[in-house]
Structure 1
Amino acid sequence: MTANQEELRLEHITKSFAGVPALKSVDFTVHRGEIHALLGANGAGKSTLMKILSGAYTLDAGTITIGPREVKLHSPSDAKKNGIHCVYQEVDTALVPQITVAENILLDRLSTREGGLWHSWGQIYREAEEAIAKLGASIDVRKKVEGLSLSEKQLVLIARTLVEKAKFIIFDEPTAPLSHEETTNLFRVMKQMKAEGIGCIFISHRLPEVFEHCDRVTVMRDGQQVYTESCEASSMDEVIRHMLGKTFEEEFPKRNVPIGEVILQTDQLTSGTRVKQVDMQVRSGEIVSVVGLVGAGKSELSNVLFGALRRDQGHIFMHGRKLSVKNPSDAIEAGIVLVPEERRKHGIMVEDSVQQNLSLPLLRQLSRIGFVRGRREQEHAQRLVDRLGVKTSSLKQQVKFLSGGNQQKVAIGKWVETKADVFLFDEPTKGVDIGAKSDIFRLIGDLAHQGKGILYFTCEFAEAIGIADRILVMCEGRVVKEFSRDEATQEKLLYYASAGQEDES
């Protein structure tokens, strides 16, 4: 093959959503027979670019070529016809659990009329067995997929790409749910595919894996491709610098608040495989930020503390007293409240008014003999709207018609006049404009000034450094490092959040 025939080339790829640019003239090239890492912070544009390449999104401008030939990808089917396949982290979404391994491997063929209406089951089992054997695996192809382990399901997906004669495969965070042994086996398979001339695109947050197994690395930031280099000629520090962009400057003032006694404490707190033996403390007036990348366990930890996720081991203490938090009602009763990441699903009632949302936690105090006192409810809501700076045409306006930032202010505001001592904020600035972010930071500072304990869960490292007194770094369900505000830098946080402790020596 000539070099040109070996290339998958994306040039000047542009994509906007509702007028907001997600990709800005991105160039990205993958050779046959290489493992090319695609990196970037959350929101950098990696997923959008790969959804265009896999046919899930259509591009607004730009070209995709394989060798000398331009290809048009309007659907996942178009991508597969051109030899482009995906292996997702959430393998169950791409498999049918009630049918056999063999049927799943040859699913694309069986679901179309390719090969005619009749299929030889003997031939199907042979092809599936050959594909599995090629991966060096031992899986009974007559077994139903629902009985397989996670890594075995992933191998079934990879076997499907071999049967379909894939030329390029997108691996989207494939190692995130795997054990060390399973991860080692996956990379063995990827290197085997590389040797057979398949181009592998590897999306990951784990930098040590990238530099151990990949040939080249591309970094995206703010919807643009900002860096491409061979892994041999690059370094983790160089990649981190390009992921973060310009040197950090604090974008919001940190309010000085006296730090008091310990309010909340956990001891070996564990929930499944996503929260592992977490020890931490939060003091009165203190803002503790918990940072990590996607899949680190931040949201799960906030949900365990709030009683929305089961605690398997360990203990939670409030003011030195051991709690039994079995559901959110227990947490609220104990003085722990949560502003969740998915505010429209769990933080607000979108069909109800601003007034009703802000009154919800205090209905008992605002009611008399079972009836809500309208004037008291209205005064309470108006006081919070003024205090929070909620931009609404009326207290009666449905929350779904507010902007994202104003919805978040309502999600936070409903708790501020409760007796809560600990506030959990899970990605509170997600989907929020700059002005609303400033208001949210100010509000959190006010709560700390009142002596509340704040846990701020975020993947935005700049925010953590700007707002927190202490920063805990999570990776793979564990707190792996703690920094004071003065010690922390974005480079250090990203290093440990990316499993950098593995290479610390």
Structure 2
Amino acid sequence: MSTQLEMKKISIEFPGVKALSEVDFSVQSGTAHAVVGANGAGKSTLMKVLSGAHAHYTGEIFLDGKKQDIRSPKAAQEQGIQIVYQEVDTALIPYLTVGENVMLNDTVQNMGKKQMVHWKELHRKATYILAEMKIGVSSKKLVRDLTLAEKQMVLIARAVSTECKFLILDEPTAPLSYTETTELFRIVNELKQRGVGIIFISHRLPEIFEICEEITIMRNGKSVACREVADITQNEVVEGMLGKTMDEQFPVVNAAIGEVVLEVKGLSDAEKVKNVSLHLKAGEIVGLAGLVGAGKTELCKTLFGHTAITTGEVVMNGRKLSLKTPHHAVKSGLALVPEERRKEGILVQESVATNLTAASIGKFSKIFSFVDRKAEKKKAKELITSLGIKTPSEEAKVENLSGGNQQKVAIGKWLIADADVYIFDEPTKGVDVGAKKDIFELIAQLARNGKAIIYASSELSEIMGITNRTYVLYGGKTVIELETSKTNEEELLFYSTGGK
């Protein structure tokens, strides 16, 4: 028997921002319904209302015509509504095992009932759920030792471990490889056959057209269209999201290529990076292509002093660097915009101004190390304007900004620092098409200013669209160097999957 979920005239405000304005939304069990929109359109906020994370909304929620008062996550879960958030590390407990995290909802429900936790039974149940989903991770492994992709799958396993009528997936494929995405879609299709309704938030339109039956387009806190996927094109979706036609996504860089700035010779770390060699010239955008788990993130972190170098060397402008810590990297003229922006790239509890000046606070320090707040505020305002950061003010907390605007803040802080080499690790992850274009233009402008840029991404279309040369990584090694204009996505994928 199918179940109809309806949200009617949902509105919600935050300080200085009306996030949702009388939004209607509905989904039928056994189907997948996509929710799309530019960053800040309100799609994640709408789903947080549905999952009980925001209680101060106005409007009504119905299940099969019966009004439900969902004002807490517990109330949502009691109605069979589960959510898997995009930022996986905020939803998992790293020092607990996979099994304990998978069965966390069940354990919490039984708290206070004076009953012992049967660990053997807990791991047996968790192992069964993981096996059913074909997730090859031991239930006794600690979550902190998992890859980003594995953490995502553990969260999905947790969501379906209890009775689930509607499952909200917020950017579920962002950390997944092609193979893992295919496996996720198998699971989604199985859940649909079991009668589970899937609400799918994603910026990857081809995936939406593959897995979903319906699509709701949001813009500026409102629902502007609800269509059958079969009756709409990807271009029409983009135009609905932006409220205008979409111009060419990738800018023409036209940067003058200078001398070699950075040389990496036989670089290895203790785990993933193995004998990597590459070079980078001023004004050049060099791609690091590869699937999830190829070693791109690990290489970026090693170059930034986050991970210890075991063999090899890094030479910058003819001088060998000692990259023992990120502090040494920054002092040497390196900047990193990391993949996990909320965990490593921004201070979510701090203001936009504090984040933008964090990497160069010395420039705003007066005598006796007091920070010149007036100068800090002025510079922050300039960057907010030039980068197009959508925020009520420079004093707004970064955690309240959309993903695309958070990413602009993560990039903006390094513009003040004025580094020589910029390392971007999956910079468009979880970012809408409009914000992506802004980020590409920022990177192009850095290249025009003579900066050397490393662009690491598993999105091969982005590698093709923005880079001059590309190194393909596989198994932690650089397997080939290609001139981007003389290759294609098929060849990049061939080498990314171990082709020789």
* TM-score category, normalised to shorter length: 0.5 to 0.7
Distance in structure 1 (CA, Å) of the matches to 2:175 and 2:41:
22
* Structure 2 counterparts to residues 90-489 of structure 1, below 5 A: 90=88, 93-94=91-92, 97-98=96-97, 100=99, 104=104, 106-111=106-111, 113=113, 117-118=114-115, 128=125, 132=129, 135=132, 144=140, 146=142, 158=156, 160-162=158-160, 164-247=162-245, 259-264=257-262, 283-284=281-282, 304-308=302-306, 317-319=315-317, 323=321, 325-337=323-335, 342=345, 344=347, 357-359=361-363, 411=413, 415=417, 421-422=420-421, 451-453=450-452
Distance in structure 2 (CA, Å) of the matches to 1:180 and 1:57:
33
Distance in structure 2 (CA, Å) of the matches to 1:180 and 1:469:
22
Deviations along 1:96-154, one digit per CA (max 9) or x if unpaired, are: 725955854622432254xxx4479599669937973993659999x546389667776
Residue equivalent to 2:492: none
Amino acid at match of 2:6: R
* Largest Rg, 1 or 2: 1
Distance in structure 1 (CA, Å) of the matches to 2:124 and 2:272:
37
Residue equivalent to 1:15: 12
Q: What secondary structure does 2:44 align onto?
A: helix
Residue equivalent to 1:35: 32
Q: How many residues align?
A: 451
Is the 1:384–1:413 Cα contact (8 Å) retained in structure 2?
A: no
Distance in structure 2 (CA, Å) of the matches to 1:233 and 1:411:
43
Q: What secondary structure does 1:193 align onto?
A: helix
Distance in structure 2 (CA, Å) of the matches to 1:403 and 1:248:
30
Q: What secondary structure does 1:80 align onto?
A: helix
TM-score, normalised relative to structure 2: 0.61
Residue equivalent to 1:50: 47
| Fraction of identical pairs, as percent | 34
Higher mean C-alpha displacement, 470-479 vs 328-337:
470-479
Amino acid at match of 1:85: Q
Is the 1:347–1:411 Cα contact (8 Å) retained in structure 2?
A: no
1:84 matches 2:84 = no
In the TM superposition, what is the alpha-carbon distance from 1:30 to its structure 2 partner?
Answer: 1.2
Distance in structure 1 (CA, Å) of the matches to 2:276 and 2:376:
38
In the TM superposition, what is the alpha-carbon distance from 1:472 to its structure 2 partner?
Answer: 8.8
Distance in structure 1 (CA, Å) of the matches to 2:296 and 2:259:
24
Residue equivalent to 1:489: none
Distance in structure 2 (CA, Å) of the matches to 1:157 and 1:51:
16
Amino acid at match of 1:8: L
Call closer, same or farther: CA 1:144–1:343 in 2, change over 3 Å: closer
In the TM superposition, what is the alpha-carbon distance from 1:241 to its structure 2 partner?
Answer: 4.0
Distance in structure 1 (CA, Å) of the matches to 2:184 and 2:283:
46
TM-score, normalised relative to structure 1: 0.61
Amino acid at match of 1:186: L
In the TM superposition, what is the alpha-carbon distance from 1:175 to its structure 2 partner?
Answer: 3.4
Higher mean C-alpha displacement, 216-225 vs 270-279:
270-279
Deviations along 1:346-376, one digit per CA (max 9) or x if unpaired, are: 999959x99x93448xx9xx9xxxxx799xx
Residue equivalent to 2:391: none
Call closer, same or farther: CA 1:138–1:56 in 2, change over 3 Å: closer
Deviations along 1:361-405, one digit per CA (max 9) or x if unpaired, are: xx9xx9xxxxx799xx99xx98997999699xxxxxxxx979989
Higher mean C-alpha displacement, 474-483 vs 260-269:
474-483
Distance in structure 1 (CA, Å) of the matches to 2:294 and 2:11:
30
In the TM superposition, what is the alpha-carbon distance from 1:201 to its structure 2 partner?
Answer: 1.4
Deviations along 1:407-449, one digit per CA (max 9) or x if unpaired, are: 9999558645xxx544668989xxxxxxxxx9xx99x969965
Distance in structure 1 (CA, Å) of the matches to 2:246 and 2:199:
30
Q: 1:62 aligns with which of 41, 59, 64?
A: 59
Is the 2:103–2:158 Cα contact (8 Å) retained in structure 1?
A: no
Distance in structure 2 (CA, Å) of the matches to 1:156 and 1:255:
41
Call closer, same or farther: CA 1:285–1:70 in 2, change over 3 Å: same
Is the 2:133–2:157 Cα contact (8 Å) retained in structure 1?
A: no
Q: Which runs of 5+ in 1 are unaligned?
A: 367-371, 392-399, 429-437, 459-463, 485-492, 494-500
In the TM superposition, what is the alpha-carbon distance from 1:32 to its structure 2 partner?
Answer: 0.7
Amino acid at match of 1:190: V
Q: What secondary structure does 1:43 align onto?
A: coil
Q: 1:73 aligns with which of 63, 70, 74?
A: 70
Higher mean C-alpha displacement, 47-56 vs 317-326:
317-326
